[in-house]
Structure 1
Amino acid sequence: MTLEEVVRYVESLPHVKRKGTEAQPAWYVHDRLVVRQQDSQTLVIRVPLSRRESLLEEYPDTFGVPPRMEAHHKVEAYLEQAEPQAVRTAIDLAWEMQCRTSGSP
């Protein structure tokens, strides 16, 4: 999956706004993080903890959780080996979680 595909997908979701920097863009819903580019091949996606393990088990080559993120609602997605549908699913989970938290769809 390419970063361009990620950008097209996340920016197609309602209420998503691009922020961050040129080198590390990030996309938010109502000022709450959905996804951020970590480096040229890695994304950080905010996902519910209740769904994180199932994503890791189902797509072990797509997602990982480094020690610094274990206590957070986040996964890393590795674009070079990522299954596109898995990344879209994680982004959808993040978007839904952030919309619920903000109180609007």
Structure 2
Amino acid sequence: MTPGEVGAHAESLAGVKRKGTTTRPGWYVDDRLVARLADPTTLVVRVPLTEREALLEAHPRTFGVPPRMESHHKVEVYLDRADPAAVRRALELAWNFQRRS
């Protein structure tokens, strides 16, 4: 999956806006982080801890949680080997988690 595909899906979600720089874009809803590109092949997505384990178990090649993120509502996505449907699902979880109803 490419950063462009990530951006296209994120921006298709109601209220999501792109911020950041060309090399490190981020997508926000209600000024709250949904996802941001950490580097060309790594995306950080904000997901509820209750959903994170299911993502990791179902898609261990797509998602990971480095030690620095263990206590945070975040997961890394490895775009160069990601399952596109799983990434879209994570973005939707993040969008729902971060938006103000």
The amino acid of 1:9's aligned partner reads H
Does 2:69 correspond to 1:69?
yes
Corresponding residue number in structure 2 for 1:12: 12
Structure 1 gap segments, 5+ residues each: none
Map residues 1-105 of structure 1 onto 2, 5 A cutoff: 1-99=1-99, 102=100, 104=101
Structure 2 gap segments, 5+ residues each: none
Residue correspondences, number = 101
TM-score between both structures, scaled by the size of structure 1: 0.93
Pairwise CA RMSD:
0.7
**1:21 shift after superposition:** 1.8
CA distance in 2, matches of 1:98, 1:9: 16
Q: Per-residue displacement from partner, 1:73-101 (whole Å, max 9, x unpaired)?
A: 000000010000000000000000112xx
Question: 4+ residue stretches of structure 1 with deviation over 3 A?
Answer: none
**1:22 shift after superposition:** 2.0
Identity %, equivalent residues? 62
TM-score between both structures, scaled by the size of structure 2: 0.97
